[in-house]
Structure 1
C-alpha cells in the first residue's frame, strides 16, 4: 500500500514568482549523475527545487559536468569524474548543508573531505549498485555491500526510497539513521486527458515499458511476453541495440520527455515493470497518475507503490498480471495515485537535513 499522504495543490514551476524568506541557505547536492541524465534521482531534484526555493533554500549542484570525466563501462550515459580541484570548488560553495546523493567518485570524494574537515552530511541510497554490478560484471554482491556500508558509515541520515528499503539496509548491516523518502508526479504534465482511442496507429492492447535500457532491468522478460497488440519500450541505453535485434516486433522509441512521454503513459493499456533490482520506480507513479495500471513482480519498488488489484497486479507471471491489469478501472487507478506529491517529497528531504556544524534541523 502507498504511504498515507495528502494530495497537495498544484503549484507553478516559475520560480520568478516566488517570494523566498530573506535569508537563503545553501544545500550542496553532490550527484554522480549529469543533470541531463533521465532517471528518477535527477527527476526528483528537478522537481523539489521549486519548493526548496519557495522555503528559502537554494540548491547548488556538484556533478561530473564540473570535472574531466569518462564513460562508465557498460553505461555510456553515466559519466565517472576525475575530481581534480575538488576541494577548491567545495570551499568556494561553503554550503550550509551537504547531501551526497550517489556513491560514485564525486560522492566518495565528498565523504572523505567532509569526514576530514568535521562537516556533517547526509546521504541518499537510491540504487542497488551491488545487484547491478553482479549482473553486469559477475562481482559478488557481498563486495558491493561492504563498500556501501563503509561509504555511508558516517552519514547522519541515510535517505532511501521506501520503508522496505529501510528494512533491507538494516538487515544488511547498515546501522545509521535510515529514513524513507517518497517521490512525486508533475500533474501539469502527466494527465489522463492525453489518452485517445487511436494512438500512433498501434494495435491494442498497448503494453509499455519505460526506463533505462540496460541488462539488469529485466527487459527480456517484457519483450518475450507472448501477448497480442503492441509492445513499446521508451528509453535508451547500452542494451538497446541487442534488444532490437532479438525482438524486431517490439517498438523502441528512445528517450521521451515532457508531454511526449506523458502521451505514451496515457495511451498505454498497461505499464509493465519487469525490474527486480530497482529501489522504487518513478515510472510506476507516472503511469498511475494518468490512470494506467502496472504489472510487475512482487519485489521492492512495486510492492511499496502498488495497491494489489486496484492500481496494479504483482506476481511471478507477468502475462497473468497483464491480463488482470487490463480489467482494472483506470479512474480508480488515477484517483489512488493522488498521494504522490513532490511537495511531500521536499518536506521529508528538508526535515532530515543536517547542519554542517553538527546541529540537526527540527520541524
Structure 2
C-alpha cells in the first residue's frame, strides 16, 4: 500500500504530530506499506506571525497536484488543517483522489486563546474540512465523543505510541536539582497553560523543557524555575528520569505523547481531569488528576515508578502504525 501524507507540521518542529508521523514511516514497511510525505520542505515558506519557530508553507494547487501524481498513492492522508492541508484537500476533491484526515490539535480553542474568534465559526470550518474525506482519525475516545457531538462523522481511533527503549527508567539522575523535581515538557506557548504549573508553591525544583514564544516572558516571571531548552531522544529521556513528577497543565491537548514518554521513564503524572489526561491516565493509577493542580502534583509523588513503566508498555509505535493502516483500508474498502 502506498500512502502520501500531507502535513504542515514537520521537522525541525518538535511536537506530537511530527513524532507520530516519523514513527509511522518507520513502522509502516513491516506491514507492507510505504509512506511518503508532502511537507513545508516542498514549498516556499514564511515564519508564522507570533511563532517564528514554525514555517508556514505557501503551496500552490499545481505543485500539490504534481506531487500527488508523482507519488502514485493508493490513498492520501491529510494530517493537518494548515495551508498544505487545505490545498491538498482541494486537489483531492477536484481530481478524485481518495483521502482521509486526522484531528490532532484543538485549533478552535487555540485560536480563541489568541483572538476573539467564536468557537462555532472555527468548528464549522473544520467540519467542512474533515467531513469531506473518507474518515477522520482521532487519538482518544474522549476526543471522538466530543467531535461526534459537534457534527463530525466517520471517526476512527488512531492512538500514538512511545519508544520504550529510549524512554526508560534509569538509575542515574543527571540533573542535580533539589528534590523533588517537578517537570514540564512541551511547547512554551499560551495553549500549554504552563504558568498554571509555574505559579504553584511546590517544594524542590520546577524544570521546563522546550521552547516557544512565551519562554522569555515566563523566564522573567518565574526566575526560580529551570528552563533547559529543547531536548530530544536520550537527552530528553535523561531529564524525565531525573524528575519525580511530570506536571501537565494543558487544558486543550487531545492526547499528549509526552505523557507516554514520562510514564515509560517511570514518571507519574499530575494533570487536570480533562481530555488527554483522562484518556491516558484516568483509571491506570499512574497519576493524579485534580482541578487543584497543586494537590495533584503532591499526590503523584507517592505513585510507584514501576507501575508507570508497566502501563506505558501497552502503547507502541508498531501498534499505532497498524491502527493507521487498518483505518486506511477500512475507510476506502480495501
**TM-score interval (norm. to shorter):** over 0.9
Per-residue deviation, residues 301-329 of structure 1 (Å, max 9, x unmatched): 00000045720000101110011100111
Q: Aligned-pair RMSD on alpha carbons?
A: 1.5
Aligned to 2:189: 214
The correspondence for 1:314, drawn from 278, 282, 289, is 289
Give the whole-Å Cα distance in 2 for the aligned partners of 1:141 and 1:307.
Answer: 27
Give the whole-Å Cα distance in 2 for the aligned partners of 1:108 and 1:354.
Answer: 23
Aligned to 1:47: 23
Give the whole-Å Cα distance in 1 for the aligned partners of 2:278 and 2:49.
Answer: 31
Q: Rate the CA distance shift 1:187–1:250 in 2: closer, same or farther, 3 A.
A: same
Give the whole-Å Cα distance in 2 for the aligned partners of 1:344 and 1:210.
Answer: 24
Per-residue deviation, residues 258-283 of structure 1 (Å, max 9, x unmatched): 11100111111000000000000000
Aligned to 2:236: 261
Aligned to 1:278: 253
Contact 1:122/1:156 (8 A) holds in 2 = yes
Please say if 1:98 is aligned against 2:98.
no
Give the whole-Å Cα distance in 2 for the aligned partners of 1:238 and 1:141.
Answer: 23
Please say if 1:229 is aligned against 2:204.
yes
Question: Size of the alignment, in residue pairs?
Answer: 332
Per-residue deviation, residues 62-101 of structure 1 (Å, max 9, x unmatched): 0111101112222222222111322222222221111100
Per-residue deviation, residues 118-145 of structure 1 (Å, max 9, x unmatched): 2211000000001000001222211111
| TM-score, length basis structure 2 | 0.96
Aligned to 1:177: 154
Question: Residues 121-140 of structure 1: matches in 2 within 5 Å?
Answer: 121-140=99-118
Cα distance, 1:199 vs. partner?
A: 3.5
Cα distance, 1:51 vs. partner?
A: 2.1
Give the whole-Å Cα distance in 1 for the aligned partners of 2:34 and 2:289.
Answer: 40
Give the whole-Å Cα distance in 1 for the aligned partners of 2:161 and 2:332.
Answer: 29
Aligned to 1:190: 167
Per mean C-alpha deviation after superposition, the further-off stretch among 132-141 and 313-322 is 132-141
| TM-score, length basis structure 1 | 0.88
Per mean C-alpha deviation after superposition, the further-off stretch among 203-212 and 80-89 is 80-89
Contact 2:284/2:311 (8 A) holds in 1 = no
Aligned to 2:277: 302
Aligned to 2:124: 146
- Extract unaligned runs of 5+ from structure 2: none
Aligned to 1:20: none
Contact 1:98/1:354 (8 A) holds in 2 = no
Contact 1:309/1:325 (8 A) holds in 2 = no
Specify which structure has the higher proportion of helix.
2
Q: Rate the CA distance shift 1:359–1:131 in 2: closer, same or farther, 3 A.
A: closer
Aligned to 2:141: 163
